[in-house]
Amino acid sequence: MQTEGPENGQAVLRVENVVKTFESAAGTVAALRGVDISIKKGEFVAIVGPSGSGKSTLLNMIGALDKPTSGKVYINGIDIFSLSDSEIATMRNHLIGFIFQSYNLINRTTVLKNVALPGVISEMSGDERSRRALKLLQVLGIEDKAGFKPSSLSGGQQQRVAIARSLMNDPAIILADEPTGNLDTKTGSEVFEMLRMMSSKFRRTIVMVTHNPELAESTDRAIYIRDGVVEKEVVNN
Ligand SMILES: Nc1ncnc2c1ncn2[C@@H]1O[C@H](COP(=O)(O)OP(=O)(O)OP(=O)(O)O)[C@@H](O)[C@H]1O
Ligand SMILES: [Mg+2]
């Protein structure tokens, strides 16, 4: 087993020759055709590529939301798909935060409860959940929205709520699938800056899918995907 830890500057996340094919009525689709990626702790990485190139599929493999057809994903040196389903779920809850383009918030409850929700799964007490959720809303500058329903917030504010929620269980890795895709340029930049802060100030590892070349160039490294393989990697200054 791979045992290299993240603290010695080694990869917190490794994708090894990952292949993913989907069988459907229309035939077989090769979404990923052998992807190799290595990402260090605290690194902010952009995944860029045309529509249908396999970006979301790759993110879903990294977050263990779906299993590869073949190949391996290591998180902190652990081959995640060698774990049982319940071990995978536990690992996901503790190590990984997800942010989606469409926010995926629950509109029938408050902003505070949305942020606090992952704390239920990790068995935090009610008090602890509320305290932590409020603190995260403060970090993201929207604590005044705690009692509102998400649907009454702007897109940028809703995405901040989603970022706060992704941080609830203090994950080492944040996976964001086009987090600025539904936002105007200015609001998108603000959300992007929040993610950058998570990486620079809190040493979270961020993997962000984006169609925005400017944002991709503002990360530590951009990985370009085309037709299910890594086309090139660009290290940014
Ligand atoms: N569940 C699925 N069943 C069948 N085919 C799928 C499934 N998920 C993805 N695909 C196919 O795999 C390929 C890659 O899809 P994926 O969603 O990863 O692309 P993407 O790069 O995220 O695109 P976009 O930029 O449009 O979000 C596409 O051809 C897609 O149709
Ligand atoms: Mg996608």
Tens-digit pLDDT profile for residues 89-124: 999 999 999 999 999 999 999 999 999 999 998 889
135 CA → ligand 2 middle, Å? 31
Confidence bin at 7 (pLDDT 50/70/90): very low
Q: Is 35 within a domain? A: no
- CA gap 83, 137 in Å, rounded: 34
Q: Which domain holds residue 143?
A: 41-65+94-235
Any ligand 1 atom below 6 A from CB of 31? yes
* Residue in 45, 41, 10, 36 with CA at minimum distance from that of residue 220: 45
Q: 3-class DSSP state for residue 167?
A: coil
The answer on pLDDT for 125 being more than 90 is yes
CATH code of the domain containing 129: 3.40.50.300
The answer on pLDDT for 196 being more than 90 is yes
Note whether 231 and 199 are within 8 A (CB): no
Strand partners of residue 226 = 229
Alpha carbon 43 to chain centroid, angstroms: 13
Q: Is 85 within a domain? A: no
The answer on pLDDT for 4 being more than 70 is no
Tell me which of 55, 61, 231 to substitute to probe ligand 1's pocket, judged by most ligand atoms within 8 Å of the beta carbon. 55
Q: Can you give the pLDDT at residue 110?
A: 98
144 CA → ligand 1 middle, Å? 38
Q: Is 2 within a domain? A: no
Any ligand 1 atom below 6 A from CB of 228? no
Residue whose CA is at the smallest distance from ligand 1 atom 1? 22
Q: Is 20 within a domain? A: no
Q: Is 9 within a domain? A: no
Confidence bin at 1 (pLDDT 50/70/90): very low
Q: Is 105 within a domain? A: yes
Neighbours of ion ligand 2 (CB under 5 A): 56
Find the mean pLDDT for residues 151-177. 95
Q: Is 138 within a domain? A: yes
Number of domains in the chain: 1
Task: Read off the pLDDT of residues 73-92 as tens digits, 9 standing for 90 and up.
Answer: 999 999 999 999 999 999 99
Q: Can you give the pLDDT at residue 9?
A: 58
Q: Can you give the pLDDT at residue 237?
A: 83
Angle (deg, nearest 10), helices 111-121 and 155-166: 20
Q: Would the pTM of this model clear 0.75, i.e. be above it?
A: yes
Q: Is 84 within a domain? A: no
Ligand that lies nearest to the alpha carbon of residue 176, given by its number in the listed order: 2
Ligand that lies nearest to the alpha carbon of residue 49, given by its number in the listed order: 1
H helices then E strands: how many in the chain? 7, 10
65 CA → ligand 2 middle, Å? 14
The answer on pLDDT for 5 being more than 70 is no
Strand partners of residue 15 = 37, 73
Backbone angles phi, psi at 120, to 5 degrees: -65, -45
